[in-house]
């Protein structure tokens, strides 16, 4: 752990601390009210009917998008980065195992019963085949439903697979030209992280209601929200935090790899989240 250059908060009396805490509380309440307004606006966002007949591969064979709802009215999809092909030279993640950043997100998904109690199903979708997904899911100990979208247009239509030979490249509602204006060497290729939300009405029609990418997924990571309560924060070296490991955003590993001695590498989806 490396926090030598980090200045700890100053030491004050309990009364002085309480004065400062009350001032911060007022700011926190403003943020809570603003978040409530944003959430209300999100709930009334117009929706688009899904006309395409997507097919996925699940543990019990081929299924349609409607099947992923499991009889409920709402569906949240986390687009989990897991490549279907063999790794190029010198690169393993997310080819031989799921992306460590996406795995960090999956670890932060709550008990499924709480979603089901609100008429909502949550699932993971990747382009990797089930032959890759199943053993990795078992290794991670997850019970979240996980489907393969390989062979369908699903990932391309929802802009979480970047391949200009198949579809125009877009991420976080910006085309590649716009992204390159912000960062000259910006390059998008392969799988990307994201969240998409769908609604099924009583007539069986399916609608796309919302998608978010990059730091739009930040509030969904409970570990981040807890760490943000601490003086060190996330320990990523930005916003006044110390960089605890010298690798900034890229500290998250598969939960069974902490403590291992291995070469530092960028989490494949954390790098996009940091930019977006």
Give the whole-angstrom CA distance, residue 76 versus residue 116. 11
Average pLDDT score over residue span 73-93: 93
Q: How far apart are CA 95 and CA 88, in angstroms?
A: 9
pLDDT of residue 176: 83
Q: What was the pLDDT predicted at 275?
A: 52
* Residue scoring higher pLDDT (88 or 220): 220
Using CA atoms, how far apart are residues 154 and 191, in angstroms rounded to an integer? 12
Give the model's pLDDT for residue 161: 94
Residue with tokens 């019963």: 113
Q: What is the pTM of this model?
A: 0.92
The tokens for 68 are 């992923």
Q: Average model confidence (pLDDT) for the chain?
A: 92
Alpha carbon dihedral 93, 98, 104, 109, in 10-degree steps, equals 160
- Cα 153 to the center of its chain, rounded Å: 20
- Give the per-residue pLDDT at 181: 80
pLDDT of residue 180: 80
What CA–CA distance (Å, rounded) separates 128 from 191?
10
| CA gyration radius, the chain | 20
Nearest C-alpha neighbor of 127 from the set 148, 108, 100: 148
- Which residue do the tokens 């006309």 mark? 51
Q: How far apart are alpha carbons 269 and 272 in whole angstroms?
A: 5
d(CA 9, CA 7): 7
């Amino acid at each position: 752990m490396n926090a030598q250059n980090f200045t700890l908060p100053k030491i004050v009396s309990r009364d002085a601390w309480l004065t400062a805490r009350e001032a911060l509380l007022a700011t926190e309440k403003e943020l809570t009210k603003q978040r409530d307004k944003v959430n209300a606006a999100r709930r009334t966002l117009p929706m688009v009917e899904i006309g395409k007949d997507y097919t996925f591969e699940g543990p019990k064979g081929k299924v349609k998008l409607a099947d992923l709802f499991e009889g409920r009215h709402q569906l949240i999809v986390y687009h989990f980065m897991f490549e279907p092909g063999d790794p190029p030279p010198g690169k393993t993640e997310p080819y031989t195992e799921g992306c460590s950043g996406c795995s960090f997100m999956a670890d932060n998904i709550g008990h499924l019963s709480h979603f089901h109690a609100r008429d909502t199903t949550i699932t993971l979708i990747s382009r990797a085949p089930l032959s890759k997904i199943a053993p990795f899911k078992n290794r991670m100990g997850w019970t979240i439903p996980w489907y393969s979208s390989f062979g369908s247009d699903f990932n391309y239509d929802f802009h979480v697979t970047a391949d200009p030979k198949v579809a125009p490249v877009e991420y976080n509602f910006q085309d590649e030209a716009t992204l390159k204006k912000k960062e000259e060497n910006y390059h998008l290729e392969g799988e990307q992280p994201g969240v998409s939300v769908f609604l099924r009405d009583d007539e069986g029609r399916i609608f796309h209601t919302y998608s978010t990418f990059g730091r739009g997924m930040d509030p969904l990571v409970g570990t981040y929200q807890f760490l943000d309560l601490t003086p060190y924060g996330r320990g990523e070296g930005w916003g006044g935090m110390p960089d605890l490991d010298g690798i900034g955003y890229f500290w998250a590993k598969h939960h069974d790899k902490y403590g291992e001695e291995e070469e530092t590498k960028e989490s494949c989806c954390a790098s996009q989240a940091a930019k977006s």
